[in-house]
Chain A
Amino acid sequence: MARTYVQATINGVATDFLCEPRQSLLEVLRDELGLTGTKEGCNNGNCGACSVLLNGRLVNACCVLGVEIDGAEVTTIEGIGNPDRLHPLQQAFLEEAALQCGVCTPGFIVSAKALLDKEPHPDEQRVRYWLAGNLCRCTGYDKIVRAVLKAADDMEPARQ
């Protein structure tokens, strides 16, 4: 099968790979690049488990083709914080117990980061609407919303 050569910046690292045009960005991240932090839920745009940032905008990696990211910048959950230095959102998710099985968590963190990058002080309603494209089967959402609001507060001094 004909594969296409693609060059992109993924989590700040210049990356190149081969993929078939019919492969989604989600498949490329997980199967070609071994970046399995981005999860597959529905594979049709509804659940947000595959949320990544594409040129700074939140997208569903299952609704993007791998070939489309040629020349683009992609941020996945692997590019947000690290085990020694968690991102404030990751810290807040732990403290607020905002995850149970954890499958939705990378998507929520990426999605919430996109919001806080744009609007550092969203109110609860704004957080809920922004996260409407991320589904969670376990938590009932309240803890997730609390964690995002807490992270926004925690990030305040860092910004000054």
Chain B
Amino acid sequence: MIDRARVTAQPVALLGPNPTLRMPVEAFDYVAPRSLAEAYAHLGNGRTSLLLAGGTDVIVQLREGRKRCDQLIDLKHIPELMRFGFAPDGTLEVGAAAPLAALYEDAEVLRRVPALVDAASIIGGTAIQSRASLGGNLCNASPAADSSAALMVLGARLLIGSASGTRELPVEELFAGPGVNTLQPSELLVQVRIPPQPPRSGAFYLRFIPRNEMDIAVASAGARLELNATGDRIEGARIALGAVGPTPLMAKAAAEALAGEVPGEEAFARAGELAAGVASPITDMRGSVAQRKRLASVLTVRALRGALQRAREAR
């Protein structure tokens, strides 16, 4: 018989340090600039940098050896990057490192830009949303990132800053490929700007996952519809797809085909077919090419239905 007392009395020291608590193999420095100017100076000091917002992507990537850096620059002590609010012209300006939970808990954001909340409130679970940011979600450049397609249909623009000044970029031009964005090493994303939405318009974002929550999109779609004054014709549309290509994609032809049409199932079904045409998915552990193409069409139709309902409520 096993002597239980002896087994449990085994000194922990014999087992050594917990072998599974792994830290990144390579050490790095941590800096926490208090201003953008200070952050730009760190970016320009010749060392390899990574930026740290909520850390829900980058800390895991460093630990797993998928990324490395000499210095990690924490953005959360820079006030401009943590703030969000509506400018006098109605633009929602979101600091790149502001946590998603703060954003979607804001009643005004929910009322005025519900499609952003569709995306922000499904990224990870509660603990992830306490830290994860739009800036991190976008700059990490996953084709499946939930905020991308939502921000693309909302016509969001990005304020990019560096020591030599600022520039603006439509959000869809940030993505270069899986995990790769178009920022220069000297640059960082300062703000996500969502312009005031057209009158009589509504936008909606959704994804397909096999679970109810806490999963990465197999495919996703966002849509925005603008109605005419009488509400019986579509004046304009935007459609974007996630996780069906190397970057999130705008489905231009599908959106253009909706202009002038009667809002409803017939037009939406055709837009869904056209949207599936731009999808160039891969087969991986989350889904197959055929499934993702089919999903691009189905999710486009559902996003359009959601957008139509919101557009009608806005009238």
Contact = CB atoms under 8 A, between A and B. Distances in A.
Interface of A: 1-2, 4, 20-24, 26-27, 30-31, 40, 43-46, 48, 51, 54, 57-60, 62-65, 67-68, 70, 111, 114-115, 129-130, 132-134
A27 B63 CA distance: 12
Contacts of A64: 55, 59, 131
B289 interface: no
A22 B127 CA distance: 20
A67 B128 CA distance: 19
A132 B131 contact: no
Contact of B59 (A24, A31, A51, A132): A24
Contacts of A67: 30
Interface in B107-142: 124-128, 130-131
B29 interface: yes
Contacts of A2: 27, 29
A43 B127 contact: no
Which of A58, A62, A63 is packed against the most chain B CB atoms within 10 Å?
A63
Contacts of B76: 68
Interface stretch (B16-24, B159-167, B260-268, B293-301): B16-24
A23 B23 CA distance: 6
5 contacts: A21-B29, A45-B60, A45-B128, A59-B130, A68-B55
A45 B125 CA distance: 9
Main secondary structure of the interface of A (DSSP, over half): mixed
A22 B130 contact: no
A159 to B, nearest CB: 22
B56 A63 contact: yes
In this complex, the interface size class of chain B, counting residues with CB under 8 Å from chain A, is 35 or more
A111 B127 CA distance: 8
B29 A43 contact: no
Interface in B23-68: 23-24, 26-30, 32, 52, 54-56, 59-60, 62-64
Contacts of B56: 45, 60, 63
Nearest to A60: B127
A20 B27 CA distance: 8
Contact of B125 (A20, A24, A133): A133
Given A21-B28, A65-B59, A132 B125 contact: yes
Contacts of A44: 60, 63-64
A145 to B, nearest CB: 14
A48 B101 contact: no
A11 B105 CA distance: 26
A44 B27 CA distance: 18
B172 interface: no
A43 B20 contact: yes
B53 to A, nearest CB: 11
A48 to B, nearest CB: 6
Contact of A22 (B18, B28, B124, B126): B28
Contact of B21 (A40, A60, A129): A40
Given A21-B72, A40-B20, A58 B27 contact: no
A132 B212 contact: yes
Which of B27, B28, B60, B212 is packed against the most chain A CB atoms within 10 Å?
B60
B145 to A, nearest CB: 15
Given A24-B23, A24-B59, A64-B59, A133 B212 contact: no
A132 B30 contact: no
